[in-house]
């Protein structure tokens, strides 16, 4: 199973939006009319525009000679591209929790771990007299994965020693505080598509980690006490658990855990003096504080690490990586000089990123990328083009020609008209906090998969 499954990346936090139906930006700047301007495909240099023929420039023959518009295209801009570290992103209460460790030759080692509350079930709790533990199991339903599931993994489970809170914000570069003696451990080969037998009955794909009996017995011994009377009291006793992988010894994989499944929980199987065989469940649900943590091991010795140290390497290829890994930085220095020869209106500006051959053979690229404008403080922000519509803006992966295309006409118009200072663009992964995808892109000087920027303008006399 070396092919990867990108899982569900529809629910996102931070630098993303799934639909952009609000076109109120058009009330401020009527760029929609640009699409109605005259268009022709005649190339021209950045210093001089050539006129379209009368056949191509519909309506130009109706204007006085001194007022005619000049229309043309530029595709000779010099473009800069390289990779930079992504900022830490908020990573609590995501739609899935990621756990695992994987290594590839371009990006090096990546690990994902998470902490979560365990909550009491509803209703009164009575274990009966002489409750004695039989076994304790943490079950986690798998909803997707990324990487090589033929490689074995080891997960350890620890008890948190500091509280985490549902109403607080946590970030992906944080570190939980936990007792470093594990209460459970499992070495296994992931089977994210295979059902498992639980009590002789087929169940959905899941990871099942046997926890120490003493962990369960300590909870059974709390029967009849105020500790089990409310979740607040219980969370004072057990702050939560932390699931952390051992670094991959090979390619490895990262699993997507479905916390919303009723099967994802801790089960304490026990007996009492009445010889009843019973199960007490500790729940993981949307009322639990849950935090994901990601680490990329500083990209030591990897091509990504070399590029971070020397951005000129991005001329050949550059990288976008989820889990607060890497983002692309794009600069088009010539844009600000376009108006040196007159005033121009942008008909269309399109930028195209391509995947070099073989870079997605074993690791699926992002289903969607997002292009962000950079401000004076180096922060990314959505471009106004994205508000017109998602289809207009683009960014979806085209598996046929292995490209991502963006229309950024509004952004370019603001640059060439002087309304916006050009600090460049960021290229980031969509759903980058809930998927583990990585994408390798041809840089500005790649031999055949270089970045392409197409700009069509109308000169205003």
- Residue-level length of the chain: 461
Q: Where are the beta strands (DSSP E) in 11-50?
A: none
In 3-state terms, what secondary structure has residue 414? helix
Q: Are 291 and 299 in contact (CB under 8 A)?
A: no
Q: Distance between CA 64 and CA 67 in Å, rounded? A: 5
* Residues 109, 93, 100: CA angle, nearest 5 degrees: 25
Burial of 129 (0-12, 13-18, 19+ CB in 10 A): exposed
> What is the rounded CA–CA span in Å between residue 21 and residue 352?
23
Residue whose token pair is 């944080």: 174
| pTM (2 d.p.) | 0.83
pLDDT at 71: 64
What integer pLDDT is reported at residue 97 of this predicted model? Answer: 97
Question: What pLDDT is stored for residue 58 in this prediction?
Answer: 28
Cα–Cα distance between 259 and 140 in angstroms, integer?
7
Secondary structure of the chain: what % helix, strand, coil (to 5)? 15, 35, 45
Q: What is the pLDDT of residue 149?
A: 93
Buried b (16+ CB within 10 A) or exposed e, 133-165: beebbbbbbbbbbbbbbebebebbbbbbeeebe
* Alpha carbons 65 and 80: distance in angstroms, whole number: 39
Give the contacts of 33 (CB within 8 A, at least 6 positions apart).
none
Tens-level pLDDT at each residue, the chain (461 residues): 444 444 443 333 443 433 333 333 323 333 333 333 333 332 333 333 333 333 333 233 333 444 445 667 777 788 999 999 999 999 999 999 999 999 999 999 999 999 999 999 998 999 999 999 999 999 999 999 999 999 999 999 999 999 999 999 999 999 999 999 999 999 999 999 999 989 889 999 999 999 999 999 999 999 999 999 999 999 999 999 999 999 998 899 999 999 999 999 999 999 999 888 899 999 999 999 999 999 998 898 999 999 999 999 999 999 999 999 999 999 999 888 888 878 889 999 999 999 999 998 889 999 999 999 999 999 999 999 999 999 999 999 999 999 999 999 999 999 998 899 999 999 999 999 999 999 999 999 999 999 999 999 998 87
- The predicted pLDDT at position 27 comes to 30
């Amino acid at each position: 199973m070396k092919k990867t499954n990108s899982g569900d990346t529809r629910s996102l936090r931070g630098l993303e939006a799934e639909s952009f139906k609000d076109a109120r930006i058009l009330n401020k700047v009527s760029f929609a009319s640009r699409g109605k301007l005259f268009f022709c495909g005649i190339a021209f240099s950045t210093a001089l525009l050539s006129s379209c023929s009368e056949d191509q420039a519909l309506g130009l023959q109706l204007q006085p000679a001194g007022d005619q518009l000049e229309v043309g295209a530029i595709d000779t801009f010099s473009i800069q591209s390289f990779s930079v570290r992504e900022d830490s992103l908020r990573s609590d209460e995501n739609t899935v929790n990621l756990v695992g460790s994987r290594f590839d030759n371009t990006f090096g080692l990546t690990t994902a771990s998470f902490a979560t509350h365990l909550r009491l079930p509803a209703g009164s709790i009575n274990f009966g007299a002489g409750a004695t533990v039989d076994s304790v199991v943490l079950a986690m339903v798998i909803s997707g994965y990324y990487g090589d599931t033929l490689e074995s993994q080891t997960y350890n489970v620890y008890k948190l020693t500091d509280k985490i809170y549902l109403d607080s914000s946590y970030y992906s570069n944080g570190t939980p505080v936990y007792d470093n003696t594990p209460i459970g451990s499992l070495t296994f080969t992931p089977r994210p598509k295979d059902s498992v037998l639980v009590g002789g009955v087929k169940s959905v794909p899941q990871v099942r980690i046997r926890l120490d009996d003493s962990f369960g017995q300590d909870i059974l011994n709390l029967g009849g006490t105020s500790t089990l009377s409310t979740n607040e009291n219980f969370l004072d006793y057990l702050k939560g658990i932390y699931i952390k992988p051992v670094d991959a010894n090979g390619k490895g994989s990262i699993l997507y855990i479905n916390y919303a499944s009723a099967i994802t929980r801790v089960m304490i199987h026990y007996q009492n003096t009445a010889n009843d065989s019973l199960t007490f469940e500790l729940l993981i649900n949307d009322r639990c504080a849950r935090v994901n943590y990601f680490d990329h091991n500083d990209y030591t010795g990897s091509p990504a690490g070399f590029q971070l140290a020397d951005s000129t390497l991005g001329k050949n290829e550059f990288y976008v990586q989820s889990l607060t890994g890497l983002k692309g930085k794009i600069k088009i220095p010539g844009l600000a000089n376009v108006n040196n020869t007159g005033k121009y209106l942008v008909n269309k500006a399109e930028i195209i990123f391509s995947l070099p051959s073989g870079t997605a053979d074993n690791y699926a690229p992002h289903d969607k990328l997002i292009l962000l404008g950079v401000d004076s403080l180096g922060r990314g922000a959505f471009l106004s083009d994205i508000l017109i519509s998602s289809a207009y803006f683009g960014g979806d992966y085209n598996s046929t020609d292995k490209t991502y295309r963006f229309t950024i006409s509004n952004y370019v118009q603001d640059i060439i008209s002087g309304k916006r200072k050009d600090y460049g663009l960021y290229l980031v992964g969509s759903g980058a906090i809930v998927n583990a995808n990585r994408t390798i892109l041809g840089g500005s000087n790649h031999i055949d998969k270089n970045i392409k920027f197409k700009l069509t303008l109308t000169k205003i006399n």
